[in-house]
Amino acid sequence: MAEEEKKLRLAVKSVIPKIKNANNINRMVALFNKENWLKKVLVENRRNVSEIDKVVKYPDYMDIKRIWIDNIPAQLLSYKRSAAEIHKKNFILPESEDWIVLQLHGGGYLNAFKKHYHNMAGFYAEAGHGLQVLSIDYRVAPENPHPAALEDALRAYQWMLDAAYEPNHIVIAGDSAGGGLSMSLVAYLRDHKMPLPAGIVAMSPWTDVTASGASYDEHYDDDPVFGGTKESLIYNNPYIGESDPKDPYLSPLFGSFEGFPPMLIQVGEREMLFSDSERAYKKAKEQGVEVKLSVYENMFHVFQIAGNMMDESKAAWNEISHFLVALERRNKSEEVMD
């Protein structure tokens, strides 16, 4: 298993920097689908073993604290102002200091917090010009079906409120299942008359666990992550458990977005989950939400994880930075976001 994982990583590493056209995307499709590597690496290989406590080398101007929120492992990432100044990180905005992102990781509700999400936390901190990032390792299936992840996300949000973070200084951010979970959390907060966050960042959000969108068929053959098989977690997911898959707290697409804060939704053009983003965007827009959908040409599911390795992922993080800064400045001036 370790040898297969090593081969996959080396192969993908050679392809990612070169993804500029359909031929290279097709190569990635072939690599991921060969011998069902995705299932082997992401699901069977210690999928429920958390890596949130892994030792990660962050820049020395970042500070990491391991914490527990009740029984939920978590980490709080923040900037050391003096060290950042030494490194001439003059992009830090004073208004960012009291802002925080709640990071809800992806993994189809089956995979625990993995090491690459530490990198994502750092990207959020830099995109927000020095804001804090709270990452949680919420419970996953099949051991913990719905609504376990939502309950843990809610507890993390309540922890931030109890820690005196202003709700209008909180941004909920997630990718894939974490993106859908972000929307479900905000729907729950709204329905239960709790204070809402300032905004939502959703990367390739999984908003429809019934897999009913047209893109599930349209991109079946060219999605490098989920394509080419009906055995993937988007078709057979134990997190649903006994719940109705159209429960808005599980599939936010089937609920209402009315009253939501501003949302930024990013999605790759060649995703099977493309419809999840497109339909959520259209519905939210119709219900009066300030929402932007950005479609990245030829990109795959959660391509933002590539960080600085690709022009497209760099552009996505720059867009997230603009969104976060606009939220911060809007909080002061109530300017309309573009």
What pLDDT digit, counting tens, does each position of 126-137 carry? Answer: 999 889 999 999
pLDDT in tens, 138-190: 999 999 999 999 999 999 999 999 999 999 999 999 999 999 999 999 999 99
Return all residues near 88 (Cβ < 8 A) that are at least 6 apart: none
Rounded to the nearest 10 degrees, the angle between the axes of helix 311-333 and helix 116-127 is: 50
Is pLDDT at 316 greater than 60 in this prediction? yes
User: How does residue 1 score in pLDDT terms, banded at 50, 70 and 90?
Assistant: very low
How many CB atoms are closer than 10 A to CB 281? 23
Give dist(CA 248, CA 254) in Å, integer: 5
Contact at 8 Å (CB) between 200 and 173?
yes
Question: What is the average pLDDT across 4-24?
Answer: 51
Are the C-beta atoms of residues 206 and 170 closer than 8 Å to each other?
A: no
Q: Residue 197: is the preceding peptide bond cis (ω within 30°)?
A: no
- 53-85 pLDDT, tens digit per residue, is 887 888 888 889 999 999 999 999 998 765 445
In 39-161, beta strands by DSSP E: 62-69, 72-79, 100-104, 132-136
User: Residue 37 phi/psi, 5° resolution?
Assistant: -60, -40
Neighbouring-strand partners of residue 64? 77
Question: What burial class does residue 197 get, using C-beta atoms within 10 Å of its C-beta: 0-12 exposed, 13-18 middle, 19+ buried?
Answer: buried
Would you mind telling me the total number of residues written for the chain in this entry? Answer: 338
Question: If you average pLDDT over every residue of the chain, what do you get?
Answer: 86
pLDDT of residue 58: 84
Q: Domains along the chain?
A: 1-45 (no CATH), 49-333 (3.40.50.1820)
pLDDT at residue 255 is higher than 80: yes
Most confident of 1-10, 23-32, 51-60, 121-130: 121-130
Please tell me the predicted confidence (pLDDT) of residue 14.
52
Highest-scoring range by mean pLDDT, 58-72, 173-187, 292-306, 307-321 = 173-187
What residue has token string 């599980």?
250
pLDDT of residue 124: 96
Neighbours of 148 (CB within 10 A): 17
DSSP 72-102: EEEEEEEE-HHHHHHTT-TT--GGGTT-EEE
Per-residue confidence (pLDDT) for residue 25, from 0 to 100: 53
User: Rounded to whole angstroms, how far apart are CA atoms 323 and 111?
Assistant: 28
What confidence score (pLDDT) does residue 71 get? 94
Degrees, nearest 5: CA angle 237-239-242: 105
Six-digit token string for 121: 């936390």
* pLDDT tens-digit map of 88-110: 554 555 456 789 999 999 999 99
Q: Which residue has the higher pLDDT, 8 or 138?
A: 138
Token digits of residue 63? 């500070």
Token pair, residue 293, equals 């959908």
pLDDT value at 42 more than 90 = no
337 three-class SS: coil
Q: What pLDDT score was predicted for residue 169? A: 96
Name the region of 65 (left: φ>0; alpha: ψ -120 to 50; beta: rest). beta
Alpha-carbon torsion angle 122, 101, 50, 266, nearest 10:
-80
Question: Which tokens belong to 206?
Answer: 């999984």
Residue 49's pLDDT band, with cuts at 50, 70 and 90, is confident
pLDDT at 37 over 80: no
Q: What is the DSSP letter of 41?
A: I
